[in-house]
Amino acid sequence: MQLCEALGQGLAAAGGTSSGGGADDGVDVQQLELFDFFNSRAKNVIAPLLKYCHYELQEKGLSPTEKISFLQSSSSISDGDPLQSKLHSLKNETLQTQATSGSSMSQITFRENVIPVETKDLRMALLKIQDLKSDWEEEEEKKNNDATSSSSDDAKFMELLSGYDDAVSLVNKELKQLAALKSGPAVNAKKFQLVNLLGYSKYQKLKLVMGRNEVLTNGIIQTSKEDDEGMTLKHLEEVAHLYDALLQDARAVASLPGGGSADDFDGDSSSAIVEDEFHLEANANVLRLRSLRCYYLARIHASPVVHKYSEAIALLDQAERLANEALEEIGACDQMEHGDALLESLEKVAAEMRGEKCRVLALSYLSKSSSTGSGKCLLQRLHDYNIPSSPKSIAHVPPKLEPMACKPSFFDVALNYVSEYPVDELERAMEENNGAEAASSGILGWFRRG
């Protein structure tokens, strides 16, 4: 009820101020009728509608912050309107109340450390980020369901990034104030909190940007798969560019400050990187993105327009090696966010890498032969004989003649049974058969010859 009364008073005050200002400045008398009409509409029409909306929202169980967000998203009033200004002021008052009470965003969890948020300004910045993120997620859901224009979605996304930048600047400001102080237990503990808050804010921003780029990349790949032409050179270049940006952000995540314990912190935010689970997961993600970037760069080199097959084969070998390392590292990180999905998708891409390597090797072989200029693919030329350009032929066409025995081996039935006999037994057998051989003549004698 206070929200509706405040909005009604804001409208009435705006109308009264405008009316009074017009009277003081000597505005035309006809404008007074318009001012009276505005005040009457605000009192008799707008205020009851606001009360009814407040009642309906209260029946749905919405909190005051959710009511303000709903009214702000539902209104189509310009930024200079008193109603919009009143909504912004009420929203800021709500954030200040929550930040002062310390009931919300009083602490954050980053790299297995629970870090308290002690300053009011930083709590307000984090609460503002939380509201902006919920608004952006609602726009994303509407865009996915309705497939409408993404202009408002992009504006909310940029506003959310600005909120993270404000939080980072606040933490850097506090760190700058502590830089001149001498190291001590209390100073180092405060610096440890601020360093982790800085790492948390930067990580949330990088995570948001990387998630959006991953969605864009997967969308391009899925759309190209559904297309009849497949992934064109333009699609490959877009995907490679996105993976290049993702790789830069992943390396920035791997070098974020924070982690460890307050006892081991020496007060220097630029000290050695802590080797914890967060750092191992970040390095595994770097390997994954390096592998995917190499893979799509190889496909660019192997495209018909570029046709640099030797470079493509070298990139595919590198991509396959990085993919195997990434699979081992991601499998070792048990608590990695979406680890199972990343493993499954990377295994599919690794299988595609092996198939792509075979295809590129075949294209490399075919590109070296000058006789394959028919324009047909390999499957359409399986039964075609291409005359080799080299003087060393693989086979003689027609085949050369080979010498054959004059006596057919079909009639030589004893050839497979003859073995070595003793000389004396062989001579005795010959003497016994001399008489029979002398008597035999004609064609039957020719068959008895051994």
How confident is the model over 213-247, as pLDDT tens digits?
A: 999 999 999 998 888 778 889 999 999 999 999 99
The predicted model gives 437-444 an average pLDDT of: 55
Q: 263 pLDDT exceeds 80?
A: yes
**Among 447, 449, 113, residue whose Cα is nearest residue 257:** 113
Question: What's residue 8's pLDDT?
Answer: 46
Q: Distance between CA 367 and CA 72 in Å, rounded?
A: 63
Confidence of residue 20 (pLDDT cuts 50, 70, 90): very low
Q: Cβ neighbours of residue 351 under 8 Å, at least 6 residues apart?
A: none
Q: Distance between CA 297 and CA 316 in Å, rounded?
A: 9
The predicted model gives 26-43 an average pLDDT of: 68
DSSP annotation string for 342-357: HHHHHHHHHHHHHHHH
The predicted model gives 102-109 an average pLDDT of: 76
Q: How far apart are the first and last CA of the chain?
A: 126
How high is the mean pLDDT of the chain?
Answer: 78
Calculate helix-pair angle for 277-301, 309-332, nearest 10 degrees.
160
Question: What's residue 147's pLDDT?
Answer: 54
Encode pLDDT of 181-197 as tens digits. Answer: 888 888 888 999 999 99
Question: What's residue 322's pLDDT?
Answer: 96
CB atoms within 10 A of CB 125: 25
Question: What's residue 271's pLDDT?
Answer: 66
Confidence of residue 53 (pLDDT cuts 50, 70, 90): confident
Q: 22 pLDDT exceeds 50?
A: no
The predicted model gives 47-72 an average pLDDT of: 66
The predicted model gives 93-98 an average pLDDT of: 66
Encode pLDDT of 372-403 as tens digits. Answer: 455 666 677 777 766 555 545 556 667 788 77
What are the backbone dihedrals phi and psi of residue 415, each rounded to the nearest 5 degrees, phi first?
-65, -35
**Among 17, 235, 201, 217, residue whose Cα is nearest residue 110:** 201
The predicted model gives 407-415 an average pLDDT of: 60
The predicted model gives 254-262 an average pLDDT of: 88
Range of lowest pLDDT (73-77, 135-139, 423-427)? 73-77
Q: For the chain, what percent of residues have pLDDT higher than 70?
A: 66
Q: Cβ neighbours of residue 222 under 8 Å, at least 6 residues apart?
A: none
Range of lowest pLDDT (44-58, 69-83, 137-151, 285-299)? 69-83
